[in-house]
Structure 1
Amino acid sequence: MSVPGSPTARSAVLLVTGLLTAVLATGCGQDDDPSVAAPSAAPTSAAAPTTSAEPSTADSPTPTPAASTPAVDREITVTIAKRRITPPTGRVTVTKGQSVRITVTSDVADELHVHGYDLGARLPAGTPGSVEFRADKTGLFEVETHETELVLFQLVVR
């Protein structure tokens, strides 16, 4: 048995404190839930979407990079109102290695999810929520809402 204040007791306290910190930092540990970020405190300005120059459907959204955010290579902004998605659902292509920010504003509370990257953000009604990441995996990834189950767009990383 260790005596309070002894080196053994202090080591035990440090070990327990370290383990508790690690458990709290890892969250709930559910594998099927994405990492959920709190919505951004201040919405960032976003560039208006433009039509893709690539051969694809005419209503594919291809937002342009935002001039006001040099740290982000690609800003993708989506608005949901009465289950209508603006810009309309389509494919958005980015280059592998680009820094991407997806900002979604919904008229109802929901949760944003980026498949394949397992990223998410809470979407309080009327408040933008964002995820920011480096597009380091190639492929086709759906970006959707969880509660309303709306596919916002398909992210193509080449």
Structure 2
Amino acid sequence: MYLKKLAVAMTGILLLFASTGIGWAHETTDHQPIEKGLKTVPEPAGKTTDSGVTVIERTLGKGPVGTIVVRQGATVRLVLHAPVGVELHLHGYDLSGVVDGEAPVVMSFRANHTGRFPIEAHGMQDLLGRTDSALAYLEVRPE
């Protein structure tokens, strides 16, 4: 009798997991951010210069959070516009800069580390009073 109850309970748990999607890893193309409720929008590809540098220019802090996708090994130059006085920080590569007047923050690096890295604004308060928020994501995919 005990084994029958255990089997029924395990079946119920498996059905619960199956209905919620818990327990199955799968590749997705929707690139959901870590913060719940935020919608991401795939960004158009950057332009590659004659020297092989991929230049990507974005205005951050307006509209939905975007995902910038590059290939591992690419030489990247991010040109980022944001409100004045905001410090932009690219996690995973530990690059940062402060928006000064009309001049954008420029981050140049070689995309050696694969993964999904937030580009956060430090010092810009959102509607909930938080001063650190992800404005975009950099996704470095394997070659």
Q: TM-score, normalised by structure 1?
A: 0.54
Pick from 51, 58, 62: which aligns with 2:43?
62
Distance 1:74 1:110, change over 3 A: same
Say if 2:45 and 2:69, in contact at 8 Å, map to a contact too: no
1:110 alignment partner in structure 2: 86
Q: Which residue of 1 aligns with 2:134?
A: 151
Q: Tell me by how many angstroms 1:94 deviates.
A: 1.1
Structure-2 residue corresponding to 1:78: 58
Q: Unaligned stretches of 5+ in structure 1?
A: 1-53
Aligned residue runs from structure 1 range 7-156, under 5 A: 55-56=29-30, 60-66=41-47, 69-80=49-60, 83-85=61-63, 88-148=64-124, 149-156=132-139
Report the CA distance between 1:101 and its aligned residue: 1.2
Q: What is the number of equivalent residue pairs in this alignment?
A: 100
Q: Is the 8 A contact 1:143 1:151 kept in 2?
A: yes
Q: Please identify, of 57-66 and 134-143, the stretch whose mean Cα deviation from structure 2 is larger.
A: 57-66
Unaligned runs of 5+ in 2: 1-27, 32-38, 125-131
Look up the SS of the partner of 1:70 in the other structure. Answer: coil
Alignment CA distance shift 1:70-1:145 (3 Å): farther
Distance (Å, rounded) in 2 between the aligned partners of 1:150 and 1:116: 15
Measured in 2, the distance between the counterparts of 1:93 and 1:144 equals 16
Distance across 1 between alignment mates of 2:103 and 2:80: 8
Q: Percent identity?
A: 33
Instruction: Decide whether aligned partners of structure 1 residues 117 and 125 sit closer, same or farther in structure 2, where only a CA change above 3 A counts.
Output: same
Post-superposition shift, 1:112? 1.4
Counterpart amino acid of 1:102?
Answer: L
Counterpart of 2:73 in 1: which secondary structure? coil
The Cα RMSD (Å) is 2.4
**Residue 156 to residue 127, structure 1, CA distance change in 2 (3 Å):** same
**Secondary structure, in 3 states, of the residue corresponding to 2:65?**
coil
Deviation of 1:59 (Å) = 5.4
Aligned 8 A contact 2:81 2:99 in 1: yes
